[in-house]
Amino acid sequence: METDLTSEYIQTVQQRTQTLYQTTQTAAHESPHLMLGCLEELQSALEELHVAEEELRQQNKSLLSAQRTIEAERQRYQELFEFAPDAYVVTDLYGTVLEANRAAIELFNVPYRHLIQNSLVSFVHKEQRSAFRGLLSQLLTIHRVQEWEVTMCGQDTHSIDSAITVETVRDFQGKAIALRWLIRDVTARKQSEAQLHKLQLQNLELTEIDRLKDQFMATISHELRTPMNAILGFSHLLLKRVSTMEDSTLACMADRIVCNSQHLLTLIEELLDFSKLKAKKLQLRMTELDLLKVADETAQELRHFAEQKGIALNLDSAQQALPIVSDPVRLRQIMTNLLSNAIKFTEAGQVTLGVWGLPAGRVLIVVQDTGIGIDPADQERIFQEFWQVNQTSTRLNGGTGLGLAIVRSLVELMQGSLSIESQVGRGTTFRIELPRQLKY
Ligand code: ADP
């Protein structure tokens, strides 16, 4: 606009100069002072021309700087396009490739010249080409499609799971002139989704297997318990009879049958209890009881095992009685499991069972030994079912690895808490806090 005005202005000055020139020629002889006037006029026209020239220079300067900015912008866009991490392609409205960046060339694994002027459809998996053509034909009306999943294939025909975003490029009048495609390789994402799906299925299968295992454990231990009770009963009878006979070998064999049957029955009972606890089917039979009395009876029952190993089993309490409402059978089971472990894993020193009243309607049961102790790394794991710290030493000592898992589940059922403190080579202390009465 400004340039038009300047050229108009220069034209006017030229015309005026021309007129002056002609006037000067005709008037030169007749009137010299007219000539002087003309020269002055010419002078001012020349000055105006200078001004116009200066203005032109300024405009030229601004134009040059604008051109440089545009060039820098173009360069920046080109670099962004060229080095974008995702594949970018520009096609005409029929899908013929006009431009493609490096990522696109890498994605399709073809030389640039094979991509340019080629149809983008030819890089789409055969089975999806007609759907792709359908998309192409709709683009003029819908303008943009986002994250459309399509399988593409490169030169070596390997499949590329892609998510395509495409939009129309328009001229300044709004007319669609090209299509800009962003092709994102989602093969890795697809693979991890498939992997995740597989893992979820496996997880479901494992849960089902776990459920079947629990069910099997419950059924089998239930089925074994009745014959095992019969075997134990009959072997007791047998032992009674053969112990009156002269043959000590027979008595010894009958005694071993009784011991082993008893052991097997305990194991079956543990399995059954654990199955019930896991299935949340174990019911507590609550009654008023004296915790101190239950503790004393349990200690008495196990004392001879401790004495057989030459260690003392002490009962420790400041109270005369500790009345609570709980399930005596399950309380005894908790104390028996902890005490038999303490005796099992102690070679010298003593095992102590302590029961104490605590403020806020709670009681404390402590089982302490001076045995082998448990490494900190194993202290959480020992509560997992079938987990044993050291298979060799435990095998010598016997056990199923269910004792502590049962203790933990029972304590939870009784709304209590359980903690352990242990030092390798120095001994272990288990602490259980229970409410004197359960809250429902
Ligand atoms: P187990 O039938 O093997 O005794 P538990 O669940 O009762 O099963 O115990 C799990 C493991 O924890 C034991 O095998 C043993 O390695 C460890 N453990 C339990 N109590 C003690 C303890 N008082 N001292 C040392 N180790 C213990």
Tell me what pLDDT residue 245 has: 79
Rounded Cα gap, residues 366 and 318, in angstroms? 13
- Does this model's pTM top 0.75? no
Alpha-carbon distance of 49 to 51, in angstroms, equals 5
Q: How far is Cα 186 from Cα 163, in angstroms, rounded to an integer? A: 6
Q: Whose CA is nearest to atom 19 of ligand 1?
A: 341
For every one of its 440 residues, what pLDDT tens digit does the chain have, with 9 covering 90 and above?
Answer: 555 666 777 777 778 777 777 777 776 667 777 777 777 877 787 788 888 888 888 999 999 999 999 999 989 988 888 888 889 999 999 999 999 999 999 998 888 888 999 999 999 999 999 999 998 888 888 888 999 999 998 777 678 899 999 999 999 898 999 999 999 999 888 899 999 999 999 999 999 998 888 888 888 888 888 888 899 999 999 988 888 877 788 888 888 999 888 888 888 888 889 888 988 889 999 999 999 999 999 999 999 999 999 999 999 988 789 999 999 999 999 999 999 999 999 999 999 999 999 999 999 999 999 999 999 999 988 998 877 776 554 444 556 788 999 999 999 999 999 999 999 999 999 999 999 998 76
- pLDDT for position 399: 66
Whether ligand 1 lies within 6 angstroms of the CB of 185 is answered as no
Ligand 1 within 6 A of 345 CB? yes
Cβ–ligand 1 contact at 427 (below 6 Å): no
CA of 397 to the centre of ligand 1 (A): 10
* 3 state SS of 423: strand
Atom of ligand 1 nearest to the CA of 403: 7
Per-residue burial over 285-306, b = 16 or more CB atoms within 10 Å of its CB, e = otherwise: eeeebbbbebbeebbeebbeeb
CB contact at 8 A, 430 and 411: no
Does the beta carbon of 399 sit less than 6 angstroms from any atom of ligand 1?
yes
Handedness of CA 403, 408, 411, 417 (dihedral sign): positive
Ligand 1, from 268, 333, 380, 382: best to mutate by most atoms within 8 Å of Cβ? 382
Any atom of ligand 1 within 6 Å of the Cβ of 400: yes
Question: 404 in ligand 1 pocket by Cβ < 6 Å?
Answer: yes
Residue of minimum CA distance from atom 7 in ligand 1? 403
Which ligand 1 atom sits closest to the C-alpha of 383?
6
Going from the Cα of 382 to the center of ligand 1, the distance in angstroms, rounded, reads: 7
Predicted pLDDT at 172: 87
**What are the Cα distances from residue 69, in Å, to 64, 75, 197, 400?**
9, 10, 52, 81
Nearest atom of ligand 1 to the alpha carbon of 385 = 6
Q: How far is the CA of 337 from the centre of ligand 1 (A)?
A: 9
d(CA 182, CA 177): 17
- Between the CA of 341 and the centroid of ligand 1 the distance, in Å, is 6
Buried-exposed string 245-261: b where 16+ CB fall within 10 A, e elsewhere: eeeeeebeebeebbeeb
DSSP state of 295: H
C-alpha 375 to ligand 1 mean position (Å) = 12
Ligand 1 atom, smallest distance to 372 CA = 25
Pocket test for ligand 1, best of 267, 404, 421, 429 (most atoms within 8 A of CB): 404
- Determine the pLDDT at residue 395: 47
Say yes or no: CB of residue 416 within 6 Å of ligand 1: no
Q: Cα separations (Å) of 170 from 143, 177, 435? A: 10, 5, 76
Distance of CA 288 to the CA centre of its chain: 48
d(CA 394, CA 436) in angstroms, rounded, equals 35
Residue 382 is encoded by which pair of tokens?
């020992």
Distance 334 CA to ligand 1 centre (A): 13
Q: Whose CA is nearest to atom 4 of ligand 1?
A: 399
Ligand 1 pocket member 266 (CB < 6 A): no
Beta strands in 171-225 (DSSP E): 176-185
Q: Which of left, alpha, beta for 122 (phi over 0: left; psi -120 to 50: alpha)?
A: alpha
Instruction: Judge if the beta carbon of residue 349 lies within 6 A of ligand 1.
Output: no
CB 223 within 8 Å of CB 271? no
End-to-end CA distance of the chain: 89
Report how far ligand 1's centroid is from the alpha carbon of 418 (Å). 15
